[in-house]
Amino acid sequence: MAKNLMIQGTMSGAGKSILTAGILRLLRQEGFRVAPFKSQNMALNSYVTQDGREIGRAQALQALAAGRIVSSDMNPILLKPTGERASQVIVNGLPIGDMDAREYFKNKRKYVPDIMAAYERLSQDTDIIVIEGAGSPVEINLRSEDIVNMGLAELVDAPVLLVGNIDPGGVFAQLLGTVNLMPKEERDRIKGLIINKFRGDVSLLTPGLTMFKEYCDIPFAGVVPYMELSLDEEDSLSEVLKERDGFGSDGKVKITVIRLPFISNYTDYSIFENIEAVEFIYTREAKAVEEADLVIIPGTKNTLSDLKWMKEKGLDSAVRAAALKGALVVGICGGFQILGRSLKETDGGNCEDKGLCLLPVDTTFENEKDLKQVEGVLSGIQGIYAALNGREYKGYEIHMGRTKAENSNTPVITEGNVLGTYIHGFFDRTEIAEGVLSLLFERKGIKRPVPKMESRMETQEKDLDKLADCLRENLDMDLIYRAIGI
């Protein structure tokens, strides 16, 4: 049986996902066979495994950190919000239907056997499983049915590190309040406290660490500095979304992603960030869309709802105006569907809406979900995007809709300066991203060469090693090893 360690946080945004990934990479570097586990995740940023199952994107990153093939056993339950109070429920990587919050709360203990079976399978060839909690472990009104924080820690007998985020302030109150709301048996599981995302001179914090002992006898396992990392966060509420009302730079290529309410898989475009010649923003404003050189409509968990929202905000007209003036327009997954002529929902009614009519495609939503990894070589593309022919693509598809295109059976559909595809990770291949950036440079009149881009995988591997080095320096690893029992 594998040993384990659980990372819980005082709140969402404490940094559990990234710390879990960093600890996995550190332990892997020390020679341990490690694996990530999160019993229940709520996120719209997801990933498809080799066997066609869907899990949270954060667990896919953690699998990369651990040097493991991504498996649905790492995240047996995934909740993908479809509205304010409803989510699609995915168990063992496959959707079982939509539930409102109350219905899921009543039924979630039924999935404990699935959780434990996944954990047992994962532990068979693993030395240490590093488990990530969710939100806060002291939502006292939800504790009786908990299957992801202390409820899970009890099931698998896991020691816990509790993480607080100092960045918004009040970290000592976060930690003490969380601990004091726990019954003794849960508090006894916490073997160390971590302050995360610290900026500045740590010596100024040291007196506070000493004074905290008067209120709590749980030792600190470390203070982790704030780091600029390009690693996949858990959901679209991440601070990495640089939402702005407009652009500020002249002479740069202007790229905007429309910040849909149900945006999913926003990491599809991360390769364009932090390029000196590019200004990259997320926006909800029509003016910014009309100013852009490249407009991206991202994936969404609720295509019809987000299309309606775009029309209410005037963003549909803004996208058409941008396309008319010559801007490149790209839609991925739900964004691809929105760019088409019609979208029709056949399950439970005849809800139909008109798309932006920028691509000659029509979409019908059905019950069965497409989940698959895809790869190949682009061919048959006409017009502006023809330069992409011959370039390799690799990614995955997650969608309910079936889209029919006129006279085309390729993974990419184009019409003039508009492109649509179902492939998540389409731009992760540098040759495709560089090809699109080359088009933008040419149309913008930028004479210098397109910069050599680093693939998403290369960036994340480097950042995981950088994170592991930081944790090794700033965490009390002796305390952590004692907690694990090694």
Provide the whole-model pTM: 0.91
CA-based nearest residue to 224, from 170, 169, 163: 163
**pLDDT for residue 253 is more than 80:** yes
3-state secondary structure labels for all residues of the chain? CCEEEEEEECCCCCCHHHHHHHHHHHHHHCCCCEEEECCEEECCCEEECCCCCEEEHHHHHHHHHHCCCCCHHHCCEEEEECCCCEEEEEECCEEEEEEEHHHHHHHHHHHHHHHHHHHHHHHCCCCEEEEECCCCCCCCCCHHHCCCCHHHHHHHCCCEEEEEECCCCCHHHHHHHHHHCCCHHHHCCEEEEEEEEECCCHHHCHHHHHHHCCCCCCCEEEEEECCCCCCCCCCCCCCCCCECCCCCCCCCEEEEEECCCCEECHHHHHHHCCCCCEEEEEECCHHHHHHCCEEEECEECCHHHHHHHHHHHCHHHHHHHHHHHCCEEEEECHHHHHCCCEEEECCCCCEEEECCCCCCEEEEEEEEEEEEEEEEECCCCCHHHHHHCCCEEEEEEEEEEEEEECCCCCCEEEECCEEEECCECHHHCHHHHHHHHHHHHHHHCCCCCCCCCCCHHHHHHHHHHHHHHHHHHHECHHHHHHHHCC
Sequence-separated (6 or more) residues with CB below 8 Å from residue 466: 227, 229
pLDDT at position 236 is 43
pLDDT digits (tens, 9 = 90+) for 332-373: 999 999 999 999 887 555 566 899 999 999 999 988 889 999
Q: How confident is the model at residue 246 (pLDDT cuts 50, 70, 90)?
A: confident
CATH topology of domain 253-454: Rossmann fold (3.40.50)
**Smallest Cα–Cα separation from 323: which of 358, 297, 272?**
358
Burial class of residue 164, CB neighbours in 10 A (0-12, 13-18, 19+)? buried
Burial group, residue 308, by CB count within 10 angstroms (0-12, 13-18, 19+): middle
pLDDT score, position 404: 86
pLDDT at residue number 400: 87
∠ CA 13-17-18 to the nearest 5 degrees? Answer: 95
Cβ partners under 8 Å of residue 371, min gap 6: 48, 52, 53, 54, 93, 94, 396, 397, 398
* pLDDT at position 55 over 90: yes
The whole-number average pLDDT for the span 406-414 is 79
Pairwise CA distance, residues 216 & 213, whole Å: 5
> pLDDT of 229-244, one tens digit each?
988 766 445 455 668 8
What per-residue confidence (pLDDT) applies to 447?
Answer: 87
Q: Contact 264/236 with Cβ under 8 angstroms?
A: yes
What is the pLDDT, as a whole number, of residue 245?
82
**What does the block give as tokens for 441?**
């440079």
pLDDT of residue 455: 87
Asked which of 209-223, 249-263, 307-321 is least confident by mean pLDDT, the reply is 249-263
**Cα–Cα distance for residue pair 100/420, rounded to 1 Å:** 32
Mean pLDDT on 4-14? 96
Question: pLDDT over 70 for what percent of the chain?
Answer: 96
Angle at 301 between CA 296 and CA 302, to 5 degrees: 95
pLDDT digits (tens, 9 = 90+) for 100-136: 989 998 899 999 999 999 999 999 999 999 999 999 9
Q: Say whether pLDDT at 221 is over 90.
A: yes
433-457 pLDDT, tens digit per residue, is: 999 999 999 999 998 889 889 888 9
Residue 257 has pLDDT above 60, yes or no: yes
Catalytic positions, please?
333, 424
Domain ranges of the chain: 3-232, 253-454
Instruction: Name the CATH code of domain 3-232 (choices 3.40.50.300, 3.10.20.30, 3.40.630.30, 3.65.10.10).
Output: 3.40.50.300
On average, the pLDDT of the chain sits at 93
How confident is residue 409, by pLDDT bands cut at 50, 70 and 90? low
pLDDT in tens, 128-148: 999 999 999 999 998 889 999
